[in-house]
Structure 1
Amino acid sequence: MPEDFTLFKELVKDDVIMKYISGKGLTPEQAKKKFTSILDINADPLLGYFKVIDSASQLFLGDCKLVNYRKDPTVFEIGYLLKKEFWRKGLGTKICESLLAMAQDIDANKNVVGIIDPANIASKQLLTKFGFQSFFIGVEDDISTEKLILKRT
């Protein structure tokens, strides 16, 4: 929702958080452009970007996504981004479980891709724990990239 821009901007401006996403934090202008594209994607009632909220405290933890992969819409893409203070607390596993369950409910036969920085060992371990396998390592859109896929068909 448009009113969530402030939370998003604060999340993505941090160089440490964005290290494995874009290489560095986003400027306010870059954050606005990205947020606008997220709102367009969120027009789909089943897919999109979602806030990650602590159910007990209602505290904003980060965001996650389940979208059609832009390079191949026959495949889902999952991803997540958490504030630093919530790293290494098992939240990535919970988020991944939830996103994969959503993907299963929407289309049980559709493969799922996760795109990471090859240096992000924690994300690779998380995806491989769920059965994802690496199929691409290289540079894409000027960013060091590794793609992992969970084949469902």
Structure 2
Amino acid sequence: MIVAETPSLILRYITLDDVDELAKIYADPVVMKYFPSTRTYEETKLQVEWFITWYEKYGFGLWATIHKADNKFIGRCGLIPQIVDGKKELEIGYLLAKEYWNRGLATEAAIASRDYAFEQLGYSRLISLIHRDNIPSQKVALKVGLTYEKDSWISWEMMVRVYAIHK
């Protein structure tokens, strides 16, 4: 199911057919530098199954990001339920294959996710959780309109910067 379309991207539900492409992205240590580790094929498959349950439970989640120019799966972006400092939050998340970095595509995907959350889901606050050393992702958050709020420890035992936006 297509969720959103931008000038360069199609955002749609991830399916099990996407596991191979996502597993390649998750296996890349450069892409996964600011995550606890790379992921195996099986870990990727389990995560995709989890995304599918999010669609059923929440009506949203992380979506396949398809580059229109070459009709290629280039990553995943969308909305992630999170708990930050004991409070329920909704995160805008984005992760693209490194061949698609520095083209404005993460910003485009994040803006589409932001607009979907505000306009379709009625949220009034969104966050992004970004590793404190991940300057490129922090720049994306700023371009999307989020501002730095605080540093916080999250569930995977990592200090992150919390960026937030209010509608």
Bin for the TM-score computed over the shorter chain: 0.7 to 0.9
Residues 16 and 45 in structure 2, CA contact (< 8 A), matched pair in contact too: no
Compute the displacement of 1:38 (Å).
1.6
TM-score (norm 1): 0.85
1:120 to 130, 134, 139: 134
Residues 18 and 25 in structure 1, CA contact (< 8 A), matched pair in contact too: yes
TM-score (norm 2): 0.79
Written as runs of structure 1 = structure 2, the 5 A alignment for 1:28-107 is 28-44=41-57, 46-71=59-84, 72-73=87-88, 75-107=89-121
Aligned to 2:164: 149
Alpha-carbon distance in 2 for matches of 1:109, 1:85: 32
Alpha-carbon distance in 2 for matches of 1:108, 1:33: 29
Residues 50 and 64 in structure 1, CA contact (< 8 A), matched pair in contact too: yes
Alpha-carbon distance in 2 for matches of 1:121, 1:94: 17
Compute the displacement of 1:151 (Å).
1.9
| 102-111 vs 56-65, greater mean Cα deviation | 102-111
Whichever residue aligns with residue 129 of structure 1, its letter is K
Residues 92 and 126 in structure 1, CA contact (< 8 A), matched pair in contact too: yes
Aligned to 1:3: 17
Higher relative contact order (CA 8 A, sep 6+): 2
Residues 62 and 93 in structure 2, CA contact (< 8 A), matched pair in contact too: no
Q: CA RMSD in A?
A: 2.0
Alpha-carbon distance in 1 for matches of 2:67, 2:45: 25
5+ residue gaps, structure 2, are 1-14
Alpha-carbon distance in 1 for matches of 2:57, 2:21: 22
Percent of aligned positions with the same letter in both sequences?
A: 23
Alpha-carbon distance in 1 for matches of 2:59, 2:51: 14
Residues 77 and 113 in structure 1, CA contact (< 8 A), matched pair in contact too: yes
Matched, 1:24 2:37: yes
5+ residue gaps, structure 1, are none
Work out the number of aligned pairs and report it: 150
Compute the displacement of 1:109 (Å).
4.6
Please state whether the residue corresponding to 2:163 is helix, strand or coil: strand
- Name the structure with the higher strand share: 2
Residues 114 and 147 in structure 1, CA contact (< 8 A), matched pair in contact too: yes
| 27-36 vs 108-117, greater mean Cα deviation | 27-36
Matched, 1:136 2:122: no
Please state whether the residue corresponding to 2:164 is helix, strand or coil: strand
Compute the displacement of 1:45 (Å).
7.0
Please state whether the residue corresponding to 2:103 is helix, strand or coil: coil
